[in-house]
Amino acid sequence: MNQSAQPSGMRGFVIVWLGQVVSMLGTGMTNFAVSFWIFQQTGEATALTWAIFFFMAPSVLFSPIAGAIVDRANRKMVMIVSDLLAGVATIFLLSLLAADSLQIWHIYLANLLAGAANAFQFPAYSAAVTMMLPKEQYGRAAGMLSLAGSASGILAPAFAGALLGPIGLVGIMSIDVVTFLFAIFALFIVFIPQPEVTPEGRTGQGSLLQESAYGFRYIFQRPSLIGLQMVFFFINFLAMFGFAVMVPMILARTGNNEITLASVQSVGAIGGVVGGLLLSTWGGPRRKVNGVLIGMICVSIFSQALMGVGQSVFIWATASFMGQFIIPILNGSNQAIWQAKVAPDVQGRVFAVRRLIAQITAPLATALAGPLADRVFEPAMQPDGAWASMFGWLVGTGTGA
């Protein structure tokens, strides 16, 4: 298909977006089912948090090199290849499961590959949106992308919870593979322009190592950008402690009830859909930095803190809804700032380093969260535990506290 016949602009973006909606649905179903399988096998939060760690670590640490490759290569092909690698990780697990040989460490290994692929996906997709759409559409595009994730968040837990019994983990992973192929086909048929070389791009040219380091130089030379990233650095570190133990907490407090977990996650995703729809039609606040800072405060109070003190499905669902409602506005405002401020031909490198700075503490928090929950906090919050009399009135006592 020649370039003139390929969909481009908003039409092309919508096609790519639809591919991502379908792919995210399949991936979300697999993540839900695998998380439930891990907790059934081990009964501990540690194994679940380590699975998250092995995905996040390469996703964050490979970011600078991935960003440099994104700026050097054809961004469309980078997106296709990274989606293929993520699909290979799922096929690897599917083949082991079909042979009745799947073990926990296999999931860790597959997550390493999927995380490495994700290191390329974020800068490539973010930079591609900049080239496909005009500046005034950035906020709406961020809202649509957030809406895609939230829509899959509603459907994936519901579908996975309903299908896990009838078709099992093998069936769910097979669906995931098909959705990957659909997303790759959507990328093949659209036109994604390459950026023109700018003065910033010429300054950052050099060896792969030099180009990987350029993203750091670009951000650290701009005080407003590094200040924004340091806020995300500290917030993400604290938030990951809660995120990593949410699934095992709910399962522990409900007797491994996957329907309850799916319900809480689906209600949260409804909040994400509402937030994403709001952002895609509104475009976000005029002063994007207000959307970031006020959003962080609201997520901390009405989602993280409320989830921690909650002891009922209603409170968990409310906290999940509030967090997912606010996050699209927060992240969409942040994304619009970066897309407007950074030259298109260096966005791969800069966005990758931006992600590294914001999320470098997340793998550490994830690795610590499970052992701390299993070995320190939960034992201390047993009815006769050391902290039960001090905090029991707030978060309860016993399993999952």
Show pLDDT as tens, one digit a residue, over the chain (401 residues).
555 556 667 888 899 999 988 998 998 899 888 888 888 888 777 788 788 889 988 988 888 899 889 888 888 999 999 999 999 999 999 999 888 888 999 999 999 999 999 999 888 888 888 888 887 788 788 888 877 877 777 788 788 888 888 888 889 999 999 999 999 999 999 988 888 877 777 777 778 888 888 889 999 999 888 888 888 888 888 888 877 778 888 888 888 787 888 888 888 888 988 988 888 888 778 888 888 989 999 998 898 888 888 888 999 999 999 998 999 899 888 988 888 888 888 888 898 888 888 878 777 787 787 777 777 777 767 777 767 777 665 666 666 55
Judging by beta carbons within 10 Å of its beta carbon (0-12, 13-18, 19+), is residue 393 exposed, middle or buried?
exposed
Judging by beta carbons within 10 Å of its beta carbon (0-12, 13-18, 19+), is residue 123 exposed, middle or buried?
buried
- pLDDT at residue 396, rounded to an integer: 60
**What is the CATH number for 357?**
1.20.1250.20
Structural domain harbouring 273: 7-193+206-395
Residue at 198 is within a domain = no
On the CB side of 263, CA atoms within 13 Å amount to 14
- pLDDT at residue 7, rounded to an integer: 66
Residue at 113 is within a domain = yes
How many domains does the chain divide into? 1
- Measure the CA–CA gap between 56 and 118, rounded to whole angstroms: 9
- Measure the CA–CA gap between 190 and 5, rounded to whole angstroms: 9
317 contacts 264 by C-beta, under 8 angstroms: yes
- pLDDT at residue 351, rounded to an integer: 87
Among the listed residues 293, 290, 305, the one whose alpha carbon sits nearest the alpha carbon of residue 239: 305
- Measure the CA–CA gap between 109 and 219, rounded to whole angstroms: 33
Residue at 234 is within a domain = yes
Residue at 356 is within a domain = yes
Residue at 2 is within a domain = no
Residue at 400 is within a domain = no
- pLDDT at residue 270, rounded to an integer: 86
- pLDDT at residue 392, rounded to an integer: 66
116 contacts 150 by C-beta, under 8 angstroms: no
Q: 209 to each of 69, 75, 330, 349, how far by Cα in Å?
A: 10, 19, 32, 11
Residue at 365 is within a domain = yes
